[in-house]
Amino acid sequence: GRVSAVVTEAGTIRTRTVVMAGGAWASSFCNQLGIRFPQAAVRQSILAVAPGVNGLPDALHTARVSLTRRGNGGYTLAISGRARVDPTPQQLRFSREFVPMFARRWRSLAPGAFEGWRQGHESLRKWVLDAVTPMERNRILDPKPDMRQIRLTYRRACELMPELKRVAISDAWAGYIDSTPDGIPAVGEIEGIPGFILAAGFSGHGFGIGPGAGHMIADIITGSEPIVDPRPYRPERLKTAAWGKVAEF
């Protein structure tokens, strides 16, 4: 049937259209409606350095390390694509779909720990609407950073820009990047559930294409001419993919 409402902690909101933009939680949400959305989240670790270095570009991306100037004058440092794969029930469920991508990226990905299992965002369990949900128990995904990767990132940045040796690491954190098997976001209305629009699996591209994706989603909702062709992002493309797996929405 079509969407009729959204149940929240504050009550029920009647609506005929909803956008599921739940990031790393999106596949678990879809599972509640019987939607099989192949998604795997990988844990990436990032660090920040204190202010005190001048003359560096506001943003720089290289194969070895990337940096972005922060509002306080410091910098955020990361290694693009390098992450840990934490085993979870969802990782195991969709493992066949993701083997080709993981195999291509084996130099950047490494086995993780049970951090993802503890976070609960990739559970296969279903919950009832009048009970406490997993995301109410864990409102902020805040996994532990991979300190080995933090040290490697800082070392690479200092080799590229020796000026950074003058400042210390001020913070380190980690987050989950929601990925699809082909690394392309799934954006569009789900077949068989009119009014349910999926916008997830941005695979690390969210900051770069997020504003354009938001514009395209608004166009889909209002029936306007899309700012870009939405067909390459349609969720149903994942039904039959190159690896021969059929996903059932």
58, pLDDT greater than 70: yes
73 token code pair: 């004058």
- Of the candidates 28, 22, 24, the one whose C-alpha atom is nearest the C-alpha of residue 44 is 24
Question: How far is 17 from 217, CA to CA, in rounded Å?
Answer: 11
75, pLDDT greater than 60: yes
Q: What are 233-247's pLDDT values in tens digits?
A: 999 998 755 433 433
| Mean pLDDT, residues 37-64 | 94
**How far apart are the two ends of the chain, measured CA to CA in Å?**
13
Predicted pLDDT at 131:
84
| Mean pLDDT, residues 93-106 | 88
- Residues of the chain with pLDDT > 70, as a percent, come to 95
Q: Interior CA angle at 27 toward 24 and 32, to 5°?
A: 130
Handedness of CA 60, 66, 71, 72 (dihedral sign): negative
Q: What are 111-146's pLDDT values in tens digits?
A: 888 888 888 899 898 988 888 888 888 999 999 999
225, pLDDT greater than 70: yes
